[in-house]
Structure 1
Amino acid sequence: MQLLSALQGMWVLGFTVLVVVLDQITKLAVKDRFYLGESIEIFGDVLRFTYIQNPGMAFGIRLGGPLFFTIFASIASLIILIYLYRMRRESLPSRLSLALILGGAIGNLIDRFAYGEVIDFIDVGIKNTRWPVFNAADSAVTVGMIILISLVLFEGRKDEAPAPAKFPVQPPAPSDENDNWRDAKRSN
């Protein structure tokens, strides 16, 4: 049993590493092949690759400088790693959702250490209505969060059996009194 648990733990960490590697490969490919600000259509105007560098958080939110984001992302990654270890006996989907979040956080953290900002390139939208440009790490974090929230919402419901009624509702037992009432009602 311990061997199985250890293998699953390694598999989950391997999944985290896979997310980081895929994220970094895609970012390096964009950085090597695009000029900053360059955009090419991949699927018409709906999907474009647009190379930008994001000094802020998701969606370009800026609450502090690069040092703040690097420290914040480092602490968040460490907390997720500790939580992932503590959840080692939880369901595999729960741990994989955290592995996605951790892999995405580490992928963007690598960018912050290497460039002082994050490389974003996935540009989705229609004409002038565009979603903020993002990357594979952002996608991993988002998918991981969606899975984790879904598990919390739906696994909780599955585990909760409906509580039995304390006083089951039963029809009243027949009695002479009820029969007399019906007879009186019929005669009116």
Structure 2
Amino acid sequence: MSATEPVVPASAPRSRLRALLSLVCVAILVYGADQLSKHWVVTTLPERVSEPVLGELLQFTFVRNPGAAFSLASGSTWIFSIAAAVVTVVILVFARRIRALSWALLFGMLLGGVLGNLTDRLLREPGFGVGHVIDFIEVWGFPAIFNIADIFIVSSMGLFVILTLRGVRLDGTRESAVRADDVLAQESTVSDAAFDADRRRDRG
């Protein structure tokens, strides 16, 4: 092994595998919860009739949404279907680089939520790619009706902001720690150079 070749920690493959399994498990749980809840809504609730859960604070109101999350941009279903497919591919590509459980949780929530709504757009009426997403959660004071997939998509975005502000990278390291290591390495290099210079002067 050459002196310049990077040394990969022995635990790296295990960390990567653990993160990948965590991502997959979270995605499956989110996707399953989303699809099961939508199946229950479609088979149980009448459309556009509010069913109180916690009085007016929380109600279940079954609606079919042709737009994006929270009923935004109705009539652009194909665009959101393509965007969801692209996001899915990007997550699968980045999954191989993740070793931090926090990022695995983030991508798992995002993947499960995106696939949940994408399944609706691909398989539900009125047709492939333009299917309407099932929304049913209505919260007092909130301007839109949403579903479980929407909750996890938004939660993953919030977690993304937190991890980014804290400087946590996909491999679990932090930018501040990396910068500190770089500074120490530079100081060590300078010290070694000064020591060598002193030795040469002493020999001279």
Superposition TM-score, scaled by structure 1 size: 0.76
Is 2:29 the partner of 1:18? yes
Q: Quick one: which of 142, 152, 160 aligns to 2:176?
A: 160
Aligned length: 158
Match of 2:106 among 97, 114, 117: 97
Q: 1:32 aligns with which of 39, 43, 50?
A: 43
Residue number in structure 2 paired with 1:169: none
CA distance in 2, matches of 1:81, 1:38: 39
CA drift at 1:159: 4.4
Largest Rg, 1 or 2: 1
SS at match of 2:117: helix
Residue type at the aligned position of 1:99: G
1:148 to 160, 164, 167: 160
Q: Could you tell me how far apart the structure 2 residues matched to 1:18 and 1:92 are?
A: 16
Residues 61, 137 of structure 2: 8 Å contact kept: yes
Residue 91 of structure 2 is matched in structure 1 by: 80
Structure 2 CA distance for aligned equivalents of residues 80 and 131 of structure 1:
30
State the match for 1:65 in structure 2.
Answer: 76
Aligned to 2:19: 8
In the alignment, residue 40 of structure 1 is paired with which amino acid? E
**Unaligned 5+ residue runs, structure 2?**
1-10, 125-130, 169-173, 184-204
Aligned counterpart in structure 1 of residue 150 of structure 2, from 126, 138, 141: 138
User: How far does residue 148 in structure 1 lie from its aligned partner after superposition?
Assistant: 1.4
What is the CA-CA distance between 1:38 and the residue it aligns to? 1.8
| Partner secondary structure for residue 50 of structure 1 | strand
Equivalent residue for 1:109? 118
Identity %: 32
Which secondary structure state, in structure 2, belongs to the residue aligned with residue 44 of structure 1? coil
**1:167 corresponds to:** none
User: How far did residue 4 of structure 1 move?
Assistant: 4.9
Aligned AA (2:133):
V
